[in-house]
Structure 1
Amino acid sequence: MTDEPVPPPAPGAEDHLALDFVNSALALPGGQFIDLLGTPAATNQWLFERGLAPADAGVREMCASQLRSLRENLRSLFAARVAEVPALPSALSAVNDALSKAPTAALLQWDETTGPYRATPCPTNEILDRALATLAANAADLLTGPDAERLTRCGSPPCNRYLLRHGRRHWCSTRCGDRARAARAYARRTQKAG
């Protein structure tokens, strides 16, 4: 972990929650690393800020670990999509398992005052399943939708974030773009001097 500030969301993250999710583990220059799901409290905060859990959900390490596992499987699928290679069957299986956790139908309920209504149950013990299913569904929509062609990995090593490419932009943030341009300029100066 580091005291380095978290960069702003990568392009496309505002439209695709799954992009924000896979980018919750950040590699930074100098071997530094930020994991926004690194602890149960941090995971609870991340879920709360995105409307996936109440502030007092009480996420435990087992739940945080399941989310980190889904994140790594989604990163694998994103990498396969960007590289145009077949996906790992285990990653597909993990995402499909998460997708199957979502309730499929609003159940019939009855209120003594107002009568019948339909609602999808969401007891506290299903918060994690609902979050996993929501993130997996969003990733599946991104990977199979029109934005999939724009999905790319940040072009500024060691950054490991994914983004939706806009025009020629291949960086997740201004900071990464500046770092990539500075590295190219340094390489040109070094090559001319040698």
Structure 2
Amino acid sequence: MDVDQLAVELAVTIRHDGHGGVADDLTEPAGLDRWVREHPAARIAAGPDFTADPAALAAVVEVRTAVRALFARAVLPGPPSSADAGLLPPAAQAIGRLNAASALVPVTALLDWPPDGPPAAGWAVPGGPTAGDRLTGAIARAAIAFLAGPDREKLRACPAPRCVRYFVKEHARQEWCKPSCGNRARVARHHARRRAQTAAHQD
């Protein structure tokens, strides 16, 4: 997975629960542990010994809130995810949160150029930041790279009934975050047409 996509993957930890409501995968530290294990870029950033605690969870959720606020801004003039209505900070505050999280762990560019190979760029993290700070900083930098990059223009809020996910549009005809959302939207449209036809006949 592209590191920049880490921000999208974090945003969709708020999702449709399959029963008409909204589920949050990050309500407890165990949920953050699962998410880190499932995302190699997050696992690398946090380190092999990472175990989420309440402080790390709170920091990541704060970054997620900032990311979703800026995703809502990015999809304008389209509507944002319905999960976010009235719950997000202003864009300026969200930007401040992302920048502060990124600054938790400054990174230094390094050059490696072995005698028998090509040069390669790498990164070093000076000092001894906590695993939680490393994770939060990496997610914030991924979000900044995504929002400042070309994929921001392809970001969409899924318009399917009850879906609350954001997604990156991968081809011109893609309308939904996943096929099941497209199926649900088509069924909803079919039922709406049937209701309209029934109402017209009754009149």
Give the TM-score of the pair, scaled to structure 2. 0.74
What is the Cα-based RMSD across aligned positions, in Å? 2.6
For the structure 1 residues 106 and 27, does the alpha-carbon distance in structure 2 shift closer, same or farther, using more than 3 Å as the test? Answer: same
Structure 2 gaps, min length 5: 79-89, 111-122
Measured in 1, the distance between the counterparts of 2:195 and 2:124 equals 65
- What's the CA shift for 1:73? 1.0
In the alignment, which residue of structure 2 is the partner of 1:41?
Answer: 30
Structure 1 gaps, min length 5: 1-11, 108-117
Measured in 2, the distance between the counterparts of 1:22 and 1:92 equals 15
Amino acid at match of 1:53: A
CA contact (8 A) 1:19 1:163 kept: yes
CA contact (8 A) 2:107 2:124 kept: no
Measured in 1, the distance between the counterparts of 2:31 and 2:132 equals 14
In the alignment, which residue of structure 2 is the partner of 1:90?
Answer: 93
CA contact (8 A) 1:98 1:133 kept: yes
Please tell me whether residue 23 in structure 1 is matched to residue 7 in structure 2.
no
Measured in 2, the distance between the counterparts of 1:36 and 1:99 equals 23
Of 67, 71, 90, the match for 1:74:
67
Measured in 1, the distance between the counterparts of 2:149 and 2:167 equals 15
CA contact (8 A) 2:4 2:143 kept: no
Measured in 2, the distance between the counterparts of 1:49 and 1:164 equals 19
In the alignment, which residue of structure 1 is the partner of 2:142?
Answer: 138
Measured in 2, the distance between the counterparts of 1:54 and 1:131 equals 8
Query: For this pair of structures, how many residues does the alignment match?
Result: 171
Q: How does 1:1-194 map to 2 (within 5 A)?
A: 16-50=5-39, 51=43, 52-54=45-47, 56-84=49-77, 88-105=91-108, 119-121=124-126, 123=128, 126-165=130-169, 166-194=171-199
CA contact (8 A) 1:43 1:64 kept: yes
SS at match of 1:167: coil
Measured in 2, the distance between the counterparts of 1:54 and 1:35 equals 24
- What's the CA shift for 1:84? 4.8
- What's the CA shift for 1:13? 7.9
Measured in 1, the distance between the counterparts of 2:153 and 2:184 equals 25
Measured in 2, the distance between the counterparts of 1:97 and 1:141 equals 15
CA contact (8 A) 2:102 2:138 kept: yes
- What's the CA shift for 1:14? 8.4
For the structure 1 residues 101 and 14, does the alpha-carbon distance in structure 2 shift closer, same or farther, using more than 3 Å as the test? Answer: closer
Measured in 1, the distance between the counterparts of 2:49 and 2:27 equals 18
